[in-house]
Amino acid sequence: MTEEVWWKRGIVYQIYPRSFQDSDGDGIGDLKGIRSRLDYLQWLGVDAIWISPIFVSPMADFGYDVADYCAIEPVFGTMEDFDALIADVHARGMKLILDFVPNHTSEQHPWFLESRSSRTNPKRDWYIWHDPAPDGGPPNNWVAFFGGSGWEWDEKTGQYYYHAYLREQPDLNWRNPAVRAAMFNVMRFWLDRGVDGFRVDVMWHLIKDAEFRDNPPNPDYRSGLPEVASLVAFYSTDRPEVHEVVREMRAVTDEYDERILIGEIYLPIDRLVTYYGEHLDEAQLPFNFQLVEDGWDAEEIWNSLNDYEAALPNGGWPNWVLSNHDKPRVATRIGRPQARVAMMLLLTARGTPTLYYGDEIAMENVAIPEQHVQDPWQTSEPGDFGRDPQRTPMQWEPRPGSGFTSGAPWLPIAPDAADYCVARESGDPASMLSLTRRLIELRRAHPALSVGRYAALGRDGDVIAFLREHEGERFAVVLNLGAKQRCFVLPDGVAGTVTLSTLDGREDEAAGGALDLRGDEGLLIRLG
């Protein structure tokens, strides 16, 4: 194994805690449940677990509305459960990353209750309050993420407050030093308990325009997109002053050894990479969502790979994501055959991969009947923006409740869960799980695949190819992003034997010169 820090060589696995494993039969996953599945995660070979929010929350946005940052939501368990979990994770040599939600609190957070109690309350300025526009309406045109104005009128104190998401999620005022100090202490609270880092929710939102100018209309807006996309969020997000805040956050994690700051940031590459910081003193991993956002098209993916490599600052470490709890599952977006190719890409590209729970067993989005809808976005805005389909319970075993719960699951379980579950797939060498595990095993065994150098080999039609290299060891990755058979010509000097195909067979086959790829096939070739 290489000496590189854990978050460069390691693989992050995202757990949506409500849906991973229920231990008490209430149909909702919990910390004890996660703890009982650590054997599986270790067997799979991931290095770090990121758990979506587990803090006290009224659950208006399923934990992304925090009412107490330093206490565990009872639905998920107790602080003792948390301490036991982190101890077990560390005993296995794994890391634990928590979700930190600094942009907004719950409207039920004591800070907000104080803030809204009067205009003279000392915490008034902890949130973003503004007088109405001259016509009495909202102060500006900013739209909330789940639809409607981002401003909510407060009758009692005669001002509006700003919320980038639900009205139940008022935005904190990060220009106020007292807010910063309080939130940095929240970080220290968890770092002191041994947490290995944070995935920082909507990092690019933290600072808003000081003058609250109107956002410009988005010329590319079309029907079918959510209302929030009707404007370019120029003045409400990605303000220059946000970098000072991120630097301060990083300084907090740097008070401890080897801790990580991951930023959730949905921005074009050239803006995204600014979150590494001019002196690499901001987020170590600003999430790179290109594989989530791009169309699954060889040209587009190829350009993304290479544009990203070119845009990275000197010393900035890349990272890749295929899915998360906000986006449709990869197997649904691009189909199960291509999801195997995508898994090979995720686990052989240069950069830290984040694997969304269930993607390793090819879980698909699950259609949610109206009476089972949970996500507020599905009900707050006309259209089909609900995120429940990608948040359904983990599929463990072919039986009622899927081995996830002995009770009634909070979201429906996939109709094909008996075929696509851990118990079945772990015994099938052709399954997505076996492929994923093998890729992880290879990545762990060969530093070329984790921390090695990247070099583009080229693109030919639907096929993309690149090299990974470390201390004399070299691999070629050749991926057919289409369903038709293709030929790719390996350049002179690039020849070896096939280590792994995303389809069956071909291991140890010689590869050099003209290489035939079946439809939906990806090959990992060890070069001689």
Q: Quick check: 381 binds ligand GLC (CB under 6 A)?
A: no
CB of 324 to ligand GLC, least distance (A): 7
Question: Closest separation between CB of residue 393 and ligand GLC, Å?
Answer: 17
Catalytic hit among 80, 255, 294, 509 = 255
Task: Give the binding-site size for ligand GLC (rule: CB under 6 A).
Answer: 9
Nearer to ligand GLC, 202 or 449 (CB): 202
Q: Does residue 61 touch ligand GLC according to CB under 6 A? A: yes
Structure tokens belonging to residue 510: 């010689």
d(CA 373, CA 388): 7
Q: Alpha-carbon dihedral of residues 116, 118, 120, 123, nearest 10 degrees?
A: -20
Question: Minimum Å distance from CB 202 to ligand GLC?
Answer: 5
DSSP 143: B
Phi, psi of 361 (to 5 degrees): -110, 15
Of 266, 229, 252, 24, the closest CA to residue 144 belongs to: 229
Decide whether 66 or 343 has the Cβ nearer to ligand GLC.
66
Q: List binders of ligand GLC among 459-518 (CB under 6 A).
A: none
Q: How far is CA 494 from CA 110, 282, 347, 515, 527, in A?
A: 62, 38, 21, 11, 7
Of the candidate residues 107, 196, 201, 520, the single one contacting ligand GLC (CB under 6 A): 201
| Token couple for 57 | 């929350």
Q: Choose between 64 and 76: whose C-beta lies nearer to ligand GLC.
A: 64
Q: Which of 97, 98, 128, 202 binds ligand GLC (CB under 6 A)?
A: 202
Does 276 bind ligand GLC (CB under 6 A)? Our answer is: no
How far apart (Å, rounded) are the C-alpha atoms in residues 466 and 305? Answer: 10
User: Is 523 a binder of ligand GLC (CB under 6 A)?
Assistant: no
Between 23 and 319, whose beta carbon lies closer to ligand GLC? 319
How far lies 523's CA from each of 177, 279, 292, 340, 347, in Å? 52, 37, 22, 11, 12
- Taking CB under 6 A as the rule, does residue 64 contact ligand GLC? yes
Is 451 within 8 Å of 475 (Cβ atoms)? Answer: no
- For residues 23 and 103, which CB has a smaller minimum distance to ligand GLC in the complex? 103
Query: Site mask, ligand GLC, residues 228-267, x = CB under 6 A?
Result: ------------------------------------x---
Going by C-alpha positions, the residue among 60, 74, 70 that lies closest to residue 31 is 74
Which one is catalytic: 47, 73, 168, 201? Answer: 201
For ligand GLC, the nearest residue by Cβ is 64
Residue 326 lies near ligand GLC (rule: CB under 6 A): yes
Among 127, 129, 162, 165, binds ligand GLC (CB under 6 A): 165
Nearest distance from C-beta of residue 291 to ligand GLC, angstroms: 16
201 belongs to the catalytic site = yes
| Least distance in angstroms from the C-beta of 65 to ligand GLC | 7
- Up-side HSE of residue 292: CA atoms within 13 Å toward CB? 24
Torsion angle of the four alpha carbons 140, 143, 149, 155, in this order, in degrees rounded to the nearest 10: -60
> Rounded to a whole number, what is the distance in angstroms from the first to the last CA of the chain?
21
The amino acid sitting at 452 is G
The alpha carbon of residue 492 and the mean position of all alpha carbons in its chain are separated, in whole angstroms, by 39
> From the CB of 307, what's the least distance to ligand GLC, in Å?
24
Which CB sits closer to ligand GLC, 101 or 421? 101
Least separation in angstroms between residue 151's CB and ligand GLC is 17
Q: Answer whether 460's CB lies under 8 Å from 494's CB.
A: no
Shorter beta-carbon distance to ligand GLC: residue 265 or 433: 265
CA distance 200 to 184: 12
User: What is the smallest separation between the CB atom of 170 and ligand GLC, expressed in angstroms?
Assistant: 12
Task: Verify whether residue 492 is a known catalytic residue.
Answer: no
CA dihedral (262, 263, 266, 269) in degrees, to 10, reads -70
Binding mask 87-116 for ligand GLC (x = CB under 6 A): --------------x---------------
Give the residues lining the site for ligand GLC (CB under 6 A). 61, 64, 101, 165, 201-202, 264, 325-326
Annotated active-site positions, please? 201, 255
